[in-house]
A and B are shown apart, each in its own frame.
Chain A
Amino acid sequence: MPEEKRKRMAIIASKGSLDMAYPPLILASTAGAMDVEVTIFFTFYGVDIINKHKYASLKVAPIANPAMPSPVPMPNILGMLPGMTALGTMMMKSMMKKISWPSIPELIDACREVDVKMIACTPTLEMTGVTIDDLVDGVTVGGAAEFLDFALDANVSLFI
């Protein structure tokens, strides 16, 4: 990059459902492609997005989600029935496939290719027993101060 200082984007990814994993990764990979320096701080359930045992099988919950598309109209409370989360997830994944949307592992690769910095929150790891070996390659561990050090100079900061 030229002498001009690179733009920065700081994202906190705090949710681990399929629908909430896409926005941070899409924005990060696109920003990286636009020469923006990006850091994503994964905390709480967000750590699942970079957990290599889980990131290919994130789910979307129909219950308490009135926006969830359904082939037939049905009361939202039915989302509590066994198998509904799996069904909803399957439907959403097939809709994503229909528009050739990348999977979460593919988006993580896209982020890595443009040098998006991915930090896993240390207290979350401690609390859940997840270790760095459970996380995808290229992730580092860190805390609030490291994120803030980057975010304080960021042009865009998002909490997702």
Chain B
Amino acid sequence: MEADKTIDAKGLNCPMPIIRIKKALSEMQPGQILRMEATDKGSKSDVAAFASRTGNELLEVKEEGGTFIFFLKKK
């Protein structure tokens, strides 16, 4: 999936991946796609919760060798 912006949160623990997502989204336009990579094991459910609460759509999550890759569409 093509992303308009990519952030690397690998090695960061809760709450930083969510804080980074929020910051990145605030610099983007509605409809744009954010890609984030994280290794925090809690990030899978944290990002899903963030997305459902804020209305930014979680388009895809995949896992590649211990790294979670998220695609979020800015509301």
Interface residues of A (CB under 8 A from B): 7, 26, 29-30, 32-36, 99-102, 110, 113-114
Give the residues in chain B near A26, CB-CB below 8 Å. Answer: 14-15
Q: How far is the CA of A32 from the CA of B53 in the complex (A)?
A: 11
Q: How far is the CA of A100 from the CA of B14 in the complex (A)?
A: 10
- A30 near B54 (CB under 8 angstroms)? no
- B53 near A34 (CB under 8 angstroms)? yes
- B19 near A100 (CB under 8 angstroms)? no
Interface SS of chain B? helix
Q: How far is the CA of A102 from the CA of B19 in the complex (A)?
A: 11
Given A35-B53, A35-B54: A29 in contact with B12 (beta carbons within 8 A): no
Interface string of B15-44 (1 = CB under 8 A from A): 110110111000000000000000000000
Query: Which single residue of chain A is at the shortest CB-CB distance from B53?
Result: A34
Instruction: Please tell me the size bucket of the interface on B.
Output: 10 to 19
Query: Which single residue of chain B is at the shortest CB-CB distance from A96?
Result: B13
Interface string of B38-61 (1 = CB under 8 A from A): 000000000001100110000000
- A30 near B12 (CB under 8 angstroms)? no
Given A100-B12, A101-B13: A30 in contact with B19 (beta carbons within 8 A): yes
Give the residues in chain B near A114, CB-CB below 8 Å. Answer: 19, 22
Give the residues in chain B near A102, CB-CB below 8 Å. Answer: 16
Q: How far is the CA of A112 from the CA of B16 in the complex (A)?
A: 14
Q: How far is the CA of A26 from the CA of B23 in the complex (A)?
A: 16
- B19 near A99 (CB under 8 angstroms)? no
Given A33-B50, A34-B54, A35-B54: A100 in contact with B13 (beta carbons within 8 A): yes
With beta carbons under 8 angstroms apart, the residue of A34, A99, A100 that contacts B18 is: A34
Can you add 10 more A-B contacts, CB < 8 Å, to A35-B54, A100-B13? A26-B14, A30-B15, A30-B18, A33-B21, A34-B22, A34-B50, A35-B53, A100-B16, A110-B15, A113-B23
Query: Which single residue of chain A is at the shortest CB-CB distance from B25?
Result: A33
Q: How far is the CA of A114 from the CA of B50 in the complex (A)?
A: 14
Q: How far is the CA of A32 from the CA of B22 in the complex (A)?
A: 9
Give the residues in chain A near B22, CB-CB below 8 Å. Answer: 32-34, 114
4 A-B pairs with the lowest CB-CB distances in the bound complex, closest first: A33-B22, A30-B15, A34-B53, A26-B15
B11 beta carbon closer than 8 Å to chain A: yes
